[in-house]
Amino acid sequence: MTSAHTASAVPGRLRTYASFVRFEHTLFSLPLILAGVFCARGAEMSFVRWALVAVAAVAARTSALALNRVIDRRIDALNPRTRTRELPAGKVGLLEARLLILVSTGVYAAACAALGPIYLKLAVVPLAVFALYPYLKRFTPLCHAGVGVALSLAPLAGYAAAHPDLGSSGPAFALAGFAFFWVTGFDIIYATLDEAFDREAGLHSMVVALGRAGALRVSWGLHVGAMTALAWAAWLLVTSTGAVRLPWAGVTIACWAASAALLWLEQRWAEDVNLAFFKTNVVVGFLVLATVLAARMASGGF
């Protein structure tokens, strides 16, 4: 292969790796991390610290998805919907996938260590969650909660990175509750794509346990819980100083209402999972961030 061919192959290979770990799905977790950063006044965030948080977030997300793909590779090879994924289709080798896990986990650990010793000690928590949740569908219809727990760590991680003293952490925990309910709810919608295969393969999901209609009712209940948790987070932020700027409080309510409307539409659009799951949820994530930023301004700024 000529050097020109080698150079042209590199971008294509990078695209393959990005598709393998669904790099674009980082847009789900990034707004939650940023929202966590802004959950209290006095964020200790230099440019270097922002960069370390970004590196840790991307590396952790890459490690989680690559680990999920490796653990589920045999199931993915049997499922007509997933057999074209990079690992079962042979576009990415098993050794490559395992090396990607090692490298991304190493980068994540290094970024956590650079943030501070306490962050390196805590780094094992999300890694343990990432390693556990792919196995849950083999045992329990509550498997969707594993994904919810994983994403609920995002606002807490952002908050801890910006506020090492962990003071005034109520809004961050409320956001973690939002993330748990939101992600668990939309993972149930996503699972409707595999109802027939999961039943045949003996896998567990809320859809298999309750049927599609019953599972979607559970999903809607979780999304109601999500919007309640987001409203609580916004309330804690807006009232944190006792001096409320009414125009910004109105913006906060508008952002919250837009988020609630999109989650309602997500339930209405459940038949079109690409629309309900991917496109809608990216917008929801950024509306949550907008809600937090507006609430922070309503309480007097940053």
Percent with pLDDT over 90 in the chain = 60
Looking at 21-46, list the stretches that DSSP marks H as alpha helix, in order from N- to C-terminal side. 26-37
pLDDT-derived band of residue 214, with 50, 70 and 90 as boundaries?
Answer: very high
Closest to 183 in 3D by CA, of 281, 272, 286, 37: 281
pLDDT, tens digit, for every residue of 150-159?
A: 999 999 999 9
pLDDT, position 277: 66
pTM of the model: 0.90
> In this predicted structure, what is the pLDDT of residue 184?
96
From the number of C-beta atoms within 10 Å of its C-beta (0-12, 13-18, 19+), residue 140 rates as: middle
Q: Which domains does the chain have, with CATH numbers?
A: 19-298 (1.10.357.140)
* pLDDT for res 6: 47
**Cβ within 8 Å of residue 296, ≥6 positions away:** 38, 237, 302
Of residues 293 and 167, more confidence is placed in: 293
Query: Quick one: how far is CA 86 from the chain centroid?
Result: 21
**Tokens linked to 112:** 């956590």
Ranking 66-75, 226-235, 276-285 by mean pLDDT, the lowest is 276-285
User: Averaged over 77-82, what is the pLDDT?
Assistant: 92
261 has pLDDT over 90: yes
What does the alpha-carbon distance between residue 79 and residue 69 come to, in Å, rounded to a whole number? 13
pLDDT at 85: 86
Question: In b/e form, how buried is each residue of 61-78, taking b as 16+ CB within 10 angstroms?
Answer: bbbbbbbbbbbbeebbee
Reported confidence tier of residue 1, pLDDT bands at 50, 70, 90: very low
- Which DSSP letter does residue 192 get? G
Instruction: Give the Å distances, CA to CA, from 61 to 147, 157, 195, 232, 235.
Output: 12, 13, 26, 27, 30
